[in-house]
Structures are given as C-alpha cells and as structure tokens.
Amino acid sequence: MTISEVRLDPYNYDFHEDPYPYYKRLRDEAPLYRNEELGFWALSRHADVLKGFRNSTTLSNKFGVSLDPASRGPHASKTMSFLAMDDPAHLRLRTLVSKGFTPRRIRELEPRVTEIAVTHLDAMLEQATTGDAVDYVDEFAGKLPMDVISELMGVPDADRVQVRAWADAVMHRDDGVTDVPDSAIEASLNLIVYYQEMVAERRKKLTDDLTSALLEAEIDGDRLTDDEIIGFMFLMVIAGNETTTKLLANAAFWGHRNPDQLTSVYQDLARVPLWVEETLRFDTSSQILARTVSGELTLYDTTIPDGDVVLLLPGSAHRDERVFENPDDYVIGREIGSKLMSFGSGAHFCLGAHLARMEARVALAELFKRIRGYEVDEANAVRVHSSNVRGFAHLPIRVEIR
C-alpha cells in the first residue's frame, strides 16, 4: 500500500457505512491528508484535532464548519450563528445568547424533557406490544430532540410536527448529492419565516421561553437583533436536533452490538451517563468539522496556504490508539474525561453540550425503566448519508417490555 491510496471522501457511501478503517490509515500513513479533487486538508490524530479546535485564530470559523459548498461562505453565520464567526463577533454573540441559554434554564427543563420522552416512549412501546419491530428513530430518537428545542423556544404543541418535518428536510440528502438540495433550501426558508413570526409575536408580548429571554438579553445596552436571534434558533435546529437524534440511535445500536456492556446499565440506571459518554467517544454524531486557514499554517513540514479548508476529524481522534487503550472496543465506564471532542474544544465548545447530555440521559434511562431487553434488526437499519454527521435514518428494534 502506498500513501497515494489512502483516501478520504466524506460523500462516499462506503465511508458512511464504516469510516473507522479509513481513519486508521489516515492516522498511520497521512496524518496531514490532502484531497485535491474536493479541495481540502484533513487532520486525523487526537493531538492534531485538539490543537486544531483550540487554534481559533489560524483556523477560522468565519465561512462555516461544513464542507458542503452551499453552506460555506461569508453568509454561513445567517444559519449557523456564532458557530460561523470568529472573535470578537463570536464572543459578543455567544455571550449575549448565554444570558438566555443558561445552565439553570436547562436544569429546569428536565422534568418537561422527561414528560416528552415518556409520551413518545409510551406510543412506541404500545406499537411494540404486537411483537413487531418498531422504528426507534421514527418513533422516539427522531422526535424527542426537536420537540425539546421547540419546548425551549416556545413553539406551540400544535406546530411541532410541522417544525420537526422542516428540520428533517433541512438535513436530508439523497444518494450522491454533495450539496444542499432545493428541498432543504425551501425547508430552511419555511423555518426562518416561522421563527421570524414567532420573534415578532414575542416583541409584542414576552413569555417565559428562550425566545423571550434572547429578546431580553442585554449587556451594556447591547442587544441581539431579530436576525441574530433567528440565526441562533436555526443553529439549534441544525446542531442541537440532528446530533442528539444520532447520539440516541448510536447508543442503542452499539448497546445492541455489545450486550455484555449493557448488563450493568440495566441493573443500575446511574450508569446511563457512562453509556452516553462511551457512545460519544466510540461513534460520535459529529465526525467532521471544517475550518478555513487564516494566514498560513505549517504542519508536518507542509505549509497550508491562506484560505484553504482543513477538516478536523473528531470521529478519528476518538479511535486514536495513541490516546485510548483498545479504542475499537466499546467499553462503558472507560476513562474519557477531557479527551472527548464530540462537542469541540476551546472557544467554540458547544453551548448545548449540557442539554444534549441531559436529553440522552433522560431518554435512555426512561427507555430502560420500561424494557428488559431489545434487539436491533440490523438488516433493515438505514444509515444517514451526510458529509459531517454519522447515525441512523431508520433503526428498527424489537423490545421485551417489563
């Protein structure tokens, strides 16, 4: 094998099915990889990815974090908010948003998250009483995160199915599509219009939701504009919804593949957070994040020019044997701590990390209170095809109800 045969194509379906053998070869043979055809560089080793996340000056976010051409460019912040900004604009917007999106607000949301989870679980398990397989993504993992975001923002119950459908359409890609399709653009516009109307209503009459809290957020007379609030709401839909759905399904899939690891979780639901953490390490939702070189960057005796795209691969970093012992084994309870990069690191560390972890903990604990066991119908499981996230579009399971 020569180095020239090492290949990374984030749009390749074979890569989507199992990226980890590709990552291993990159780490070993091409730690700084170049794809001329798609025009990017990639970093795959844990140490390099971590440095990349923490170097927010030379590795800029200002053109967004996706490789997809329509998502990249100076307009990226309209839908990706401060995730597609550098300081000082990033720090200003993030600080203002943090005034509304507080740890306390997330804590207070937990009982309501539990209620939403139980509603969807009860409906799913009702279907499962026949002994037939139920789609864990369609009936549970795909519904909960968007409903939680809608709850947080104050979207009325009656509108949530429609808002969820738009959010799904924003993310959907058909086979072979390497850019944002028209259907996703249309769904994005529908969501933006919907949120514009919601913000306009709150301007007339504030309520106790996050949308109102963002309107009220103020630092030394500086406030968020309507466009900034809508941009953040859209970021929540893209970053907060999709990745949590994938986390819930990835946890179920790898738990099924490693039943010995779940025995202790069934016995003690206090171990659910450890299950969540190992899933985030072993098969993270966010696999690939793009940065743009600002100035120039020298790595592995190679100078990467200004304006080039560098992909950071946390999915690869988490399987780096330089950092984790037996990284290809799924071991619930292993020591991970600050080595995890599913939520990034440094200035752009994910603001919603505590929300995602809380949702996953609640969802999986409530599921395990109700079942004795489950099996995934792997033959009919369908993977999502995306250039940056990894997970399932459909995950049929059979459950043994308590």
Say how far apart CA 148 and CA 366 lie, in whole Å: 15
pLDDT of 3: 46
Say how far apart CA 135 and CA 319 lie, in whole Å: 29
pLDDT at 1 exceeding the cut of 50: no
129-138, pLDDT tens digit by residue? 988 999 999 9
> What CATH homologous superfamily does 3-401 map to?
Cytochrome P450 (1.10.630.10)
217-254, pLDDT tens digit by residue? 999 999 999 999 999 999 998 888 889 999 999 999 99
Q: What is the mean pLDDT of residues 35-44?
A: 96
By CB atoms closer than 10 A (0-12, 13-18, 19+), residue 286 is buried
Instruction: List the beta strands (DSSP E) in 24-110.
Output: 32-35, 40-43, 59-60
Residue positions counted in the chain: 402
Token pair 């995306």: residue: 386
pLDDT of 13: 87
Q: Note whether 53 and 348 are within 8 A (CB).
A: yes
Residues 6+ apart with CB under 8 A from 278: 261, 330, 331, 332, 333, 334, 336
Residues paired with residue 289 on neighbouring β-strands, in sequence order: 312
Q: What is the mean pLDDT of residues 393-402?
A: 95
DSSP string covering 319-350? T-TTTSSSTTS--TT---GGG--TT--GGG--
Name the band, by pLDDT with cuts 50, 70 and 90, for residue 172: low
pLDDT of 388: 87
pLDDT at 269 exceeding the cut of 50: yes
pLDDT of 386: 83
The pTM score is: 0.94
The token pair at 368 is: 């395990």
Name the band, by pLDDT with cuts 50, 70 and 90, for residue 350: very high
pLDDT of 222: 97
Residue extents of the structural domains in the chain: 3-401
Q: Which of 100-114, 181-195, 280-294 has the lowest mean pLDDT?
A: 181-195
| Cis ω for the linkage preceding 111 (within 30 of 0) | no
Compute how many other C-beta atoms are within 10 angstroms of the C-beta atom of residue 38: 15
Q: Which of 48-62, 97-111, 213-227, 382-396 has the lowest mean pLDDT?
A: 382-396
pLDDT of 324: 98
